Amino acid sequence: MSCLITAVAGMPYGYLKKRNHKTVPRKNILIYNTNRVLSSGTLQDIKEAVVKWIVKSCRPLTIAKDEGFVSMMKIATGCDKFVPPSYATVTETIHHMYSEEKTKLQTRLQAVPGVSMTADFWTSDANHSYLGVTVHFVEEWSLRSSILDVVEVPESHTAEVCGETLTRVMNEWHISDKVFTIVTDRGSNIVKGVREFTPSISTNCVAHIMQRGIALGMKAAEMESLLAKCRKIVGHFKHSALQSARLSQASQDLEIENLKLVQDVSTRWFSILAMAERLLSQRQAIAQVLDDTGACADSRITDVEFSRLEQMDNVLSKLKELSDWLGKYVTGSVVVHALRKLEKFLACCPDDPMYVASFKRAFSSYLDRNVQALPILKACAFLDPRFKTLKGIISFMFTRLHCTFVDMLLNLLLTVAKLVTLMTMR
């Protein structure tokens, strides 16, 4: 028996026709057979597709029982008696598919000579602490990355706990002897955990170092009082629906693109830049609303301060471009090239205002202390075949890279020679 689907979420076709004042052509009305019987193979494919959708889209495991979802699936399958997978089936299928994918990834990791890992702590909305661990390796001359684990760490994040957690993940995946380096932020606990409780080399994330350098640069530029004003103004509009509506109306009256203001967050990279950009774009509308209401009288941003904000916006925009570039090329070999770009950008110009020069000096000094002293990054730049010409690096830096690599190679040969000598004596 066939029937016409003339309803959307339970509304009859006549109701839709009356509401839209249009006649829907009959050729656009879907027809399906409610008596269709799905084979076991089709049901299995549907179950796996639903589970993959739940996982990839981070949907709740109970969504398969949602009435709207079930109605949609009945239409999609043409089977009015379609029964969605239960919560238990979804959970069991996820575990089964995870085991299959884990076995495949373990096989791939065993086939490569070495890997690197990245690890970082984060906190969920429920205030639970997790350590995310990702592995990076080269397979068929292509860089691959896979998440190994997201481990809940409820106890204090001491160096021992960090190191033992990472070691447990490496042992589970049978890569303890393959992990060359583990990249983390500069937290003393996790850095010490890698150095003292794992056989791998600890490497600091350059992007994290850049963010810390920006914070120090903003402090050196004495931007705190201006940023406090910015935060207060943004909060004034974000915490009041009435003031937000007035700002939107002012933007329309001034024919300015209506963009919501953004509040900066200390843990969100370049959120200061996002806040500054929105304030600058909505500057006229903000001034009009504040003048009309008399609000934030003690936090008005002057023309001189807006000029400072615009100057720092230009500086931070350049740094964000470089940070995005580092995110695109995630190998350590690009760090030396990035530093060369930073070296050019951070060179003080005669036209730089004093606060911009102070920012550049503080930022550059922090980078010099925390990045350029790492010989492993220079060796990576020297060995990476993608950068054989080392474009953007001047000749004396190339010479230093060559010397660094040769020194490391000689030290390695000496170590091997000592081991061979000891084994021969035994």
pLDDT tens column, 36-70 = 777 888 888 888 888 899 988 989 988 888 889 88
Evaluate whether 247 touches 257 at the Cβ level (below 8 Å).
Answer: no
pLDDT bin (cut points 50, 70, 90) of residue 30 is very low
pLDDT bin (cut points 50, 70, 90) of residue 403 is low
Distance of alpha carbon 326 from alpha carbon 132, whole angstroms: 20
Specify the pLDDT at position 397: 53
The tokens for 214 are 């920006």
Q: What percent of the chain has pLDDT over 70?
A: 82
Lowest mean pLDDT among 6-20, 53-67, 94-108: 6-20
Instruction: Look at 35 and 170; give whichever has higher pLDDT.
Output: 170
Distance of alpha carbon 238 from alpha carbon 229, whole angstroms: 14
Task: Give kind and range of the element (H or E) at residue 121.
Answer: strand 115-123
Mean pLDDT, rounded, for 363-368: 88
pLDDT bin (cut points 50, 70, 90) of residue 35 is low
pLDDT of 9 > 80? The answer is no
Q: How far apart are the first and last CA of the chain?
A: 87
Specify the pLDDT at position 172: 94
Evaluate whether 367 touches 342 at the Cβ level (below 8 Å).
Answer: yes
Evaluate whether 184 touches 162 at the Cβ level (below 8 Å).
Answer: no
Amino acid at 208: H
Contacts of 287 (CB under 8 A, 6+ apart): none
Evaluate whether 179 touches 198 at the Cβ level (below 8 Å).
Answer: yes
pLDDT of 74 > 90? The answer is no
Specify the pLDDT at position 227: 93
CA-based nearest residue to 280, from 255, 297, 257: 257
For the chain, the helix, strand and coil percentages under 3-state DSSP, each to the nearest 5: 60, 10, 25
Evaluate whether 135 touches 148 at the Cβ level (below 8 Å).
Answer: yes
Mean pLDDT, rounded, for 114-143: 91
pLDDT bin (cut points 50, 70, 90) of residue 2 is very low
Specify the pLDDT at position 191: 92
| 149-178 residue pLDDT tens | 999 999 899 999 999 999 999 999 999 999
Give backbone dihedrals phi and psi of 203, rounded to 5 degrees, phi first.
-130, 130
